Amino acid sequence: MHKITITLAAALLLAAPVQAQTGLFVGAQVTGASLTYKGAAENLDFGSGVGVHAGLMLGGSFGVLVNYDKATLGSSGGDTDLGQWDILGRMSFLGLGPAKTYLTAGMTGRKTTSSFYSGATGNFDFSGMNPTAGLTAQMMLGSKLALDGGVLWTFGKFNDTNGYSSSRVEATGSRVSVGASFYLFGGK
């Protein structure tokens, strides 16, 4: 019984944020992205890109993150440019000292541009809003600077397919990012 009590107490301490971080922050990141078209003939390679973000943390428990990423994905038929902009909520999940993890979810606007899709050449521009979920983390390096990381998944169909059969343009995307944030007024 005593070991169970100690184990539960340790788990609660790990789950509770040790230091609340509040404030407005801005930053930049490098991003790796993938996109899988359901039923498309070609496979897109994992691509790299860059992005910027801004957010507001309200205590150590909840925050809002606005993000923009741009990546280029390769394929045998040619490159696909993928732009993604997010409005995400973050809720504290685990915290240990200056490191915090967050469950993250919201909406993502996506736009792809390519000259090749499903064995055909042309101008293929697909866009739409879809749900996104994932896990993000932040490691404070003082009161103003933090290292960021995250993994996000976006699900659903593109709404605007410029005349191409929208029922065939279902796409799942994933992103991995690493960057830095600067708290404009410092955190507490």
What average pLDDT does this structure show over 49-58?
A: 94
Tens-place pLDDT, residues 88-104:
999 998 888 889 999 99
DSSP letters spanning 99-152 = EEEEEEEEEEEEEEEEEEETTEEEEEEEEEEEEEEEEEEEEESSSSEEEEEEEE
**Which domain, by its residues, includes 130?**
2-183
Dig out the tokens for 109 from the structure.
């606007």
Q: Provide the CATH number for the domain around residue 51.
A: 2.40.160.20
Average model confidence (pLDDT) across the chain = 81
In a domain, 141, yes or no: yes
CA-to-CA separations, 31 to 46, 123, 179, in angstroms, rounded: 10, 25, 9
Give domain status of residue 188, yes or no.
Answer: no
Quote the number of domains for the chain.
1
- Quote the pLDDT of residue 130: 93
Given a cut of 80, whether residue 52 has pLDDT beyond it is yes
Per the domain annotation, does 136 fall within a domain? yes
pLDDT band at 41 (very low <50, low <70, confident <90, very high): low
